[in-house]
A and B are shown apart, each in its own frame.
Chain A
């Protein structure tokens, strides 16, 4: 099996025209991943400027106006233009392969959702050259995001960009839901779906529930800003808190939208590299459904300081604690999967273990934020910045890197370098802890989020300097990763169809797969169809 570059597979036309008009789920997946990667680089560069500014107290490297634009765009970029497209890209590429389908249910709609997502991102970034980027934070609370206090068009670009991007994401979620429900190979019952596919299904349903709330809120903010409306205007009986409720009704499920697909990746990788089936398949799947359900009832834990009633406070504290239970169930099942296994510490597994280790920290600090009196001290400080980066960098990104090392061979036909992979892992692991661990401490000491600078007499300078050094190390780790990708795509070892002794159907076809995905499918009689085909003597129970 030789490595065939993707573009060779397309009939006729120039390469660029082919990418523009493709409706192949694998190519659209690659486009999504390319979009996510490009915005990840932009968001990363923004964060480096932020860390450079904060490295020393009372610095004037950037002025506060630029600083506010940088952290606003960094947040929006990483969440909506980097992480979500990267994960949707992997879902697009892998779901049809894992369920033995030739493509997604609606290939043309798939192209539409990608191009809408990309155009939304471009609209947002166009603001940099059209009067200033949005500067009211990624959650853009009115009245600050209203026209009186944010007269520049930045917030309007935020509204338009997010609305268009969100439409793309919603359409994509409909497509993936239909694909998973309707296009499974014969014998692949829902109770046998690979856990990554399970998590994509749950994530898609979360998107369908959460994103419309954001779209509605964006329209209302647009009406306030451009058509003289008063939804959020306290000077005309509007209610600024209404925005917060609507935004976080979207915003908290969004956190799970960004973590569940990665939990799915890890749930594929850990069993394969332990040479064992997943422990407690039904509980891992069911706990995701529980998380999805609960995630719509926890939003006001972002708002404990706004003056909620006692009932609201107790309700949202309880629900936010409760959601830790199904999350813990997953962690225990992953560890139990490794017990009794034969663990190969190849790079995908290293990153998967790193994901668990870091996600535990983000999860525990998350529970502390549900404890209201503690939240009132830590909310809107660097403690929260630390928490969310342990979840989204320590969690989502480490798990995502695990997925990249695991499926890159399927997508390109070549393996990533193990040696560079190890460098990548350890620089990332050390870098993220050096960057984000001290933030807990400065947050508790009183450093609020979103301060463009801080006084020297606060004593936060040394910690911030260490954090900035960590950020520099993270930049180096990303360069190592980029070098690995570039080198391996050209000259990596040939992977073959099934380099990891995999369990699921994507490893039953060529690497990369042909346009129609499969020339023949193994019979599906259990959760590990390829394992059953390779080991007829040790088949799973049907």
Chain B
């Protein structure tokens, strides 16, 4: 199995080489002709005004080149479409301006984990407007369009973090709609999925009490607690994710506190409002969320 990004990369090299060749030939001809026939070198201009066989040649040769490019394209499309037997399915839903990833019953957000070497079929949906799911190093982008389900197949050959970005303009915070795909060995992935499947450990801290007593719960879910909101990202294991706000801030108690104190400062236009909490409450909620691992 060859990862789609590799097939695309190979095609890009071939098509790029053909384009570069044409570029050098045509620009070279242009520059040479301008230099060769400049007024200071020529006295009487020639008067020919056409040559049918030449016209046929420079119609036919580009057309044949494009037939070759088209054939190469078909080959690559076949490779991407047929060669991958999906070993796993993930549902991805685009929201203004974050990503929801569902593995069976497990719901998480903004950070998608996949096992290395397994083709993953991603079902792409939208909860509101058009989005586009794109992780450049894993393959081409496919749009998420409300009312239909699209599909893309991902395959990572190497473990690591692959950065992506919403690619279809989707409103004010289109920019801060980043994707992190973490590709890890199968056993690590299995551990991650098992950990994600577990409900949040009971904390009984001040932070939890403040969270449950405020409007946080109307938008966010934390499995194992009374918080069941669906409008915003699921926070059951938010502390295990590497970033906050779909990539706007790094994870950590200090950054979580900054974010909670004023989300609009970091992600203006975000649908998360500024919840008026005291300094002590902010500290407590930040500590509570960071501990949800």
Cβ–Cβ contact A144 & B62, under 8 A: no
B46 touches A276 (CB 8 A): yes
Residue of A nearest to B140 (CB): A376
Partner of A453, one of B38, B128, B175: B175
Closest A residue, CB atoms, query B50: A280
Q: Check B62 against A338 for contact (C-beta < 8 Å).
A: no
A193 within 8 A of B: no
- Name the one of B7, B49, B145 contacting A279, with C-beta atoms under 8 angstroms: B49
A339 to B247 alpha-carbon distance, docked (Å): 56
- Give A383 Cβ to nearest chain B Cβ, in Å: 11
Tell me the dominant secondary structure on chain A's binding face.
helix
Q: A276-B47, A380-B141 are in contact. Are A448 and B134 (CB under 8 A)?
A: yes
Mark each residue of chain B from 160 to 171: 1 if its CB lies under 8 Å from any CB of chain A, else 0.
000111111111
Inter-chain CA distance A335–B29, complex, in Å, is 8
Contact code string A277-299 (vs B, CB < 8 Å = 1, else 0): 11111110000000000000000
Stretch at the interface among A92-100, A354-362, A481-489: A354-362
Assembled-state Cα–Cα distance A446/B163 (Å): 8
Residue A328 interfacial (CB < 8 Å): yes
Contact A325 B59 (CB under 8 A): yes
* Number of interface residues, chain B, beta carbon within 8 A: 80
Which residue in A280, A343, A361 is a CB contact (below 8 Å) of B51? A280
Q: How many Å from the CB of A287 to the closest CB on chain B?
A: 9
Of chain B, the residue at the smallest CB distance from A277 is B49
Determine the distance from Cα of A334 to Cα of B246 in the docked complex, in whole angstroms: 51
Chain B 33-58 residues near chain A, CB threshold 8 A? 33-34, 37-39, 42-51, 54-55, 58
Q: Tell me, yes or no, whether B217 is within 8 Å of chain A by CB.
A: no
Quick one: CB contact mask for A252-289 with B, threshold 8 Å, 1 for yes?
Answer: 00000000000000000000001111111111000000
Whether the pair A377, B58 counts as a contact (CB closer than 8 A) is no
Question: By the criterion CB–CB under 8 Å, are A305 and B8 in contact?
Answer: no
B window 150-186: CB within 8 A of A:
150-151, 163-175, 178
Residues of the A chain whose Cβ atoms lie less than 8 Å from the Cβ of B51: 279-280, 336
Binds B, one of A103-111, A363-371, A509-517: A363-371
**B196 in contact (CB, < 8 A):** no
Question: Distance (Å) between the CB of B142 and the closest chain A CB?
Answer: 6
Which stretch from A114-122, A159-167, A315-323, A461-469 is at the chain B interface?
A: A315-323
Determine which of B66, B74, B77, B142 lies in contact with A305 in the assembled complex, contact meaning CB atoms within 8 Å: B142
**Is A377 touching B69 in the complex (CB atoms < 8 A)?**
no
Quick check: is A187 within 8 A (CB to CB) of the other chain?
no
Distance from A201 Cβ to chain B, minimum over Cβ atoms (Å): 21
Stretch at the interface among A233-241, A399-407, A430-438: A233-241
Q: Are B37 and A274 in contact (CB under 8 A)?
A: yes
Q: Does B143 sit at the interface, judged by CB under 8 A? A: yes
- The answer to whether the Cβ of B192 comes within 8 Å of any Cβ in the partner chain is no
Binds A, one of B18-26, B104-112, B206-214, B280-288: B18-26
For A450, give the chain B residue with the smallest CB separation: B169
A357 engages B37 (CB within 8 Å): no
- B254-278: which have CB < 8 Å to A? 268-269
Contact A372 B73 (CB under 8 A): yes
Nearest CB of B to A324, in Å:
7
Q: Is the CB of B130 within 8 A of A141?
A: yes
B62 near A324 with CB under 8 A, answer yes
Q: Is the CB of A321 within 8 A of B142?
A: no
Q: Tell yes or no: B63 within 8 A of A by CB.
A: yes
Contact assessment for A342 and B39 in the assembled complex, using a CB-CB cutoff below 8 Å: yes
Question: Do B172 and A68 touch (CB < 8 A)?
Answer: yes
A63 to B44, CA, bound (A): 61
Write out the residue numbers on chain B whose beta carbons fall within 8 Å of the beta carbon of A331. 26
A345–B72 CA distance with the chains assembled, in angstroms: 42
The reply to whether B130 and A144 contact each other, CB–CB distance below 8 Å, is yes
A340 touching B55 by the CB < 8 A rule? no
Chain A proximity of B220: nearest CB distance (Å): 22
Q: Does chain A have a CB within 8 A of B12?
A: yes
> B30 near A: Cβ within 8 Å?
yes
A281 contacts B49, C-beta separation under 8 Å: yes
A331-B55 Cα distance, complex, nearest whole Å = 11
A449 interfacial contact with B, CB 8 Å: yes
Q: Contact at B80–A448, with CB atoms within 8 Å?
A: no
Bound-state CA distance A314–B139 (Å) is 19
Known: A280-B55, A373-B77. A340 touches B69 (CB 8 A): no
How far apart sit A240 and B130, CA to CA, in the bound complex (Å)? Answer: 9
- Say yes or no: A317-B171 contact (C-beta < 8 A), given A342-B44, A367-B19: no
Contact A239 B42, beta carbon cutoff 8 Å? no
How far apart sit A314 and B78, CA to CA, in the bound complex (Å)? 12
Is there a chain B Cβ closer than 8 Å to A445's Cβ? yes
A143 touches B128 (CB 8 A): yes
A selection of 17 A-B contacts at a CB cut-off of 8 Å is A63-B269, A143-B130, A238-B147, A241-B145, A275-B45, A276-B46, A280-B55, A307-B142, A307-B143, A313-B77, A321-B70, A340-B46, A345-B38, A367-B19, A373-B76, A449-B167, A453-B175
Closest 3 CB pairs of A and B: A376-B140, A340-B46, A234-B147
Extra inter-chain contacts (14) besides given A240-B145, A276-B45, A448-B174, CB under 8 Å: A64-B172, A234-B145, A240-B147, A280-B55, A332-B54, A338-B33, A365-B19, A372-B77, A373-B140, A376-B141, A377-B140, A446-B136, A448-B132, A448-B166
Binding site for A on B (CB under 8 A): 4, 7-8, 11-12, 15-16, 19, 22-23, 26-27, 29-30, 33-34, 37-39, 42-51, 54-55, 58-59, 62-63, 66, 69-70, 72-74, 76-77, 80, 96, 128-130, 132, 134, 136, 139-143, 145-148, 150-151, 163-175, 178, 247-248, 268-269
| Chain A residues with a Cβ under 8 A of chain B | 63-65, 68, 136-137, 141, 143-144, 149, 234-235, 238-241, 274-283, 305-307, 313-314, 317-318, 321-322, 324-325, 328-329, 331-333, 335-336, 338-345, 353, 356-357, 360-361, 364-365, 367-368, 371-377, 379-381, 444-455, 458, 538, 540
